[in-house]
Amino acid sequence: MTRRQNRNLIRIVLSFALLITASALPLSGIFRLTACLAAYLITGYDVILEAVRKIFRGQLFDEQFLMAIATIGAFVLNEYSEAVAVMLFYQVGEWFQSIAVGKSRKSIASLMDIRPDTATVIRMGERVTVSPEEVQKGEIIEIQPGERTPLDGVIILGETSVNTSALTGESLPVDLKTGDRIISGSINLTGTVRVQVESEYEFSTVNRILELVENASAKKARIEGFITRFSRVYTPIVVSLAVLIAFLPPLIFSLPFSEWIQRALIFLVVSCPCALVVSVPLSFFGGIGRASKSGILIKSSSDLEMLSKIKTMVFDKTGTLTKGAFSVRRVVSAKNDEAEVMKYAYLAERHSGHPIAKSICASYETQESLPESANVTEKSGLGVRAEISGAVILAGNEKLLSQFGIACVSPPDAYGAVVHIAKDGEYLGFIEVTDEIKPKAKISVQKLKTLGIAKTVLLTGDRREAAIRVKDETGIDEMLSELLPQDKLTAVEALIEHSSPIAFVGDGINDAPALTRADTGIAMGTMGSDAAIEAADVVLMDDSIEKLSEALKIAKKTMHIVRENIIITLGVKIAVMLLGAAGFANMWLAVFADVGVLIIAILNAMRTLVYNTKKAA
């Protein structure tokens, strides 16, 4: 607990002890008043002072004003113990609230530990310790075992295992070697590595995450806005009703003022809307904190509320449902010599930076010494022409080979990218390269449907055959293929018209327009483009598509708890307000209807922090 929480707890205990003592001793008159007034001021002086300050600012109708009027009125009516009890239990509720908020903040603030304070940069052959903000793109940094990675980069020397749990929620370490990318905020576990910095600190993964978390409460949910507006109208109405209860019956029916003023004070105590005002934002805060523990960053409470309403989930293909890493599916030779096809494909493609070329080269293994390629020409959208020991090698699509008058064999059952190989005008065969579907993609899509997602849609710029394969293997309902970025946006807008609300899930720069336009944009992974992460409302900190169902469960659970708190709070308060106005409720029942309901609502809101999505599966 903080110092302030400890201090308030001491005040509560002292006030309670004084109240018990004053009740137990045979005190009367001025002595009983003095003892109860001391207990009252110990626990409630700050509430009275705040109410007075707000009166001078013109802010009459808030919880401090209601508490001050109700308790001072109780003293006037000689109900000293009740006045102290109202203030005492109000402060107990405030103390519970501060504990709950502190716990919520702690769960989110734990992410702040991922911010490294220093970086060891290699300059002029010397190790120099500087702030991460001072390191420039392209510089070399050294990371020792146990240190946090200060900046994003590529390992150029050494190998290690890293802990990315603070970023992704994944507890298993990840093995990295030379050439692999390492992200800021991860903990280096085993070996010393040197890393070439890819981006300055301002654009690093860790800084982007912290900015998202710090701005998480910037936008209020619609339901939070409703509560704020409700309180502004509700409080003046209940104060006016309390005045009418206090004075109207005595004036009209000549009834005793003391009884009806007491009823009005009970009405005021019950009517305080603090349980509603506190528990709703606290529920959202807890939901955002719970999601962050699982590596799911929800940018605001309004985004969390919208996520809970999603009925249509729209997916990009590459990097979302598939790994975004190509592999050779099959090699077909016109002369029954697959090794020859792979050999010449490797020789032609080994200097290309294209992902398909890289996947072919990664699949080729040989012990023989191979000749160097010469006069390599990469033809955009077609393939590669290269000369190997005087022979002309072509590796590309049908259009490339047709330019040289070479007929190809087009496989009718191919759903991946087909690379045709020819040597000196002779057709050798083809290699089919596919993007692997993520292992848990099908299960994840099924889970989404059990959580209320009525329709799933695939939007991709890939060929129709590849899109059909992904649709069939994952169980997605509908698909559109061969789309340009603007076509994806048009498709999303059409879906919004007919099946809103929708979420779009993607990871590339070309997904940014659709992510922005969708009711909820969800960006996949820290490796996703800056544009996608900036445009999205929800960011999944790794490429695990199963996190989608977890995010949906947390959002739905949070909204369920919010609705529970609204129903419980309003239900109890309205019932006791009516009882109080009719003379069937005393001050103790009023205290429960206010502070008791506040504590119940706070404890209920805290359930979001400990919600177990695995058990809820």
Closest CA to 361 of 390, 387, 396, 326: 326
Active-site residue (options: 152, 316, 511, 519): 316
Residue 109, CB half-sphere, CA atoms under 13 Å: how many?
A: 6
DSSP state of 148: B
- Count CB-CB contacts under 10 A for residue 29: 7
Question: Mind giving me the DSSP string for 289-328?
Answer: HHHHHTTEEE--HHHHHHHHH--EEEE-STTTTEEEEEEE
Cα separation, 549 vs 493, whole angstroms:
24
Is residue 316 part of the annotated active site? The answer reads: yes
Cα separation, 615 vs 396, whole angstroms:
50
Closest CA to 93 of 610, 607, 591: 591
Cα separation, 342 vs 335, whole angstroms:
13
Question: Mind giving me the DSSP string for 507-541?
Answer: -SGGGHHHHHHSSEEEEE-TTS-HHHHHH-SEEES
Cα separation, 558 vs 556, whole angstroms:
5
Are 192 and 178 contacting, i.e. CB atoms less than 8 angstroms apart? no
Cα separation, 171 vs 180, whole angstroms:
20
CA distances from 378 to 353, 364, 395 (A): 10, 20, 10
The helix or strand, by DSSP H or E, that contains position 446, with its residue range, turns out to be: helix 441-450
Cα separation, 549 vs 313, whole angstroms:
11
Cα separation, 217 vs 221, whole angstroms:
9
Residues 6+ apart with CB under 8 A from 445: 456, 474, 475, 476
Rounded to the nearest 10 degrees, how much is the dihedral formed by the CA atoms of 259, 257, 596, 285?
160
DSSP state of 372: P
Q: Indicate which residues carry an active-site annotation.
A: 316
